[in-house]
Amino acid sequence: ALGPVIAPHADQRARGQQVSSVPIHSLRMQGILAKQDVIFGGTGETLTLSHETLHPSAYESGIMLALRALGSTRGVVVGLDRLIHLGPSDPEAPTGIPSDLE
């Protein structure tokens, strides 16, 4: 018989949780740093978008971008989209990008 699952984090709510009626599942496997799958399904078909992070170095460029933006950012910025101009934003709001990076 298999023993209990040893979880690296105390918060295990994502195991079978429903978020806005969408089932969310969380798996933890050795050798996989992070993996996200978004699966859309219709009658007789599925479309899967998948992202897998294999090494912590994958986060380095985003971390460095955020650190460089600290000096010129006011308030709280959630997500890197505001720092790399991907999302809709208020033209009056600070981008968080130092002028030498624009």
Which domain, by its residues, includes 69?
57-96
pLDDT digits (tens, 9 = 90+) for 62-91: 999 999 988 888 888 888 887 886 655 555
Q: Which two tokens stand for residue 54?
A: 């294999």
Say if residue 44's pLDDT is above 90.
Answer: yes
Tell me, yes or no, whether 11 lies in a domain.
no
Tell me, yes or no, whether 6 lies in a domain.
no
Tell me, yes or no, whether 70 lies in a domain.
yes
pLDDT digits (tens, 9 = 90+) for 11-32: 656 566 777 887 777 777 777 7
Tell me, yes or no, whether 61 lies in a domain.
yes
Confidence (pLDDT) at 24: 78
Tell me, yes or no, whether 24 lies in a domain.
no
Tell me, yes or no, whether 89 lies in a domain.
yes
Say if residue 100's pLDDT is above 60.
Answer: no
60 pLDDT band (50/70/90 cuts)?
Answer: very high
- Specify the number of domains making up the chain: 1
57 pLDDT band (50/70/90 cuts)?
Answer: very high
Tell me, yes or no, whether 9 lies in a domain.
no
DSSP-assigned letters across all residues of 49-91: EEEEE-SGGGGHHHHHHHHHHGGG--S---SSTTTTT-S---T
Tell me, yes or no, whether 78 lies in a domain.
yes
